[in-house]
């Protein structure tokens, strides 16, 4: 709960800073981006009761679309819809000699709320600091099992452990580095750090975290 209150306090402070600015006519904008994710502890970190061992697979990416309103000169809230793809592996126990390992590919849908605050403008460059509240929901899962004879199977065997969360919430902080081509179109580079409010599986003793780096385009209307 402490993590949640830290994020919430920061959002309240940012909103108060924004409300102190002069109001001007709202501007709507749309942004799309894609990039790579580096997940930390995004699998079960201990052997489960059936004897499965888990390992990380660095095959993670996201695709994002955001819609927002520039309410003040420096402050703009936005809603973000994101698809997150990630994977992890499971080694089968020695008691099942037919199988060697299974790779699990997961897809999540994110519904996020960002609070962008403009901290610096220089010529055609803008820099925003953007805290966020994030929710993430499991949308797809695929399995590829390697057998001891070298063949593979996509079946979801009953012995596979259900070691993955179906819903998550977390807080994030990102920086939007924007180059304005003109008053309507800009190119963005966005590094982001996310800390989830629960571990990937509850038996883990290490926090589930993510670092992302996205490139995208922002269009104002």
Specify the CATH number for the domain of residue 63: 2.40.160
- Residue 8 is predicted with a pLDDT of 47
Domain assignment present for residue 219? The answer is no
| The predicted structure's pLDDT at residue 20 | 46
The verdict on residue 150 lying in a domain is: yes
What residues does 108 pair with on adjacent strands? 84, 138
Domains in the chain, number? 1
The pLDDT of residue 58 is: 86
Is residue 214 assigned to a domain? Answer: no
Q: How many CA atoms lie within 13 A of 179 on its CB side?
A: 5
Residue 61: domain span: 2-16+37-204
Residue 10, pLDDT score: 52
SS (H, E, C) 81-94: EEEEEEEEEEECCC
Q: Which two tokens mark 52? A: 């499965």
Asked whether residue 179 is assigned to any structural domain, the reply reads yes
For residue 212, being part of any structural domain is answered with: no
Residue 210 lies in a domain: no
Q: What is the DSSP letter of 5?
A: H
Q: Are strands 185-196 and 152-153 parallel, antiparallel or unpaired?
A: unpaired
**Site of tokens 């003793």:** 205
Q: Please name the residue that has the structure tokens 């930390």.
A: 40
The answer to whether residue 171 is domain-embedded is yes
Length of the chain: 221
Q: Print pLDDT tens along the chain (221 aa).
A: 555 445 545 544 555 554 444 555 678 999 999 999 999 999 999 999 899 999 999 889 999 999 999 888 889 999 999 999 999 999 999 999 999 999 999 999 999 999 999 999 999 999 999 999 999 999 999 999 999 999 999 988 888 888 899 999 999 999 999 999 998 999 999 999 999 999 999 999 999 999 999 999 999 98
Query: What's the confidence (pLDDT) of residue 53?
Result: 96
**Alpha carbon separation from 108 to 2, 152, 158 (Å, rounded):** 25, 25, 22
In a domain, 215, yes or no: no
């Amino acid at each position: 709960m402490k993590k949640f209150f830290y994020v919430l306090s920061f959002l309240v402070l940012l909103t108060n800073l924004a409300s102190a600015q002069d109001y001007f006519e709202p501007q709507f904008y749309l942004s799309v981006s894609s990039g790579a994710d580096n997940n930390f502890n995004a699998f079960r970190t201990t052997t489960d009761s059936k004897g499965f061992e888990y390992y990380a697979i660095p095959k993670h990416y996201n695709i994002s679309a955001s819609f927002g309103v520039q309410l003040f000169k420096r402050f703009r809230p936005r809603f973000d819809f994101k698809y997150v793809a990630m994977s992890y592996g499971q080694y089968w126990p020695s008691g099942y000699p037919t199988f060697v390992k299974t790779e699990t590919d997961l897809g999540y849908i994110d519904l996020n709320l960002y609070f962008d605050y403009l901290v610096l403008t220089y010529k055609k460059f803008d820099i925003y600091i953007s805290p966020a509240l994030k929710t993430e929901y499991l949308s797809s899962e695929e399995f590829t099992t390697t057998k001891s004879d070298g063949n593979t199977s996509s079946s979801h065997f009953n012995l596979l452990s259900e070691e993955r969360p179906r819903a998550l919430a977390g807080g994030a902080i990102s920086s939007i580095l924007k180059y304005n081509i003109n008053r309507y179109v800009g190119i963005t580079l966005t590094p982001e750090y996310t800390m989830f409010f629960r571990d990937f599986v509850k038996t883990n003793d290490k926090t589930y975290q993510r670092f992302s780096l996205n490139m995208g385009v922002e269009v104002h209307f």
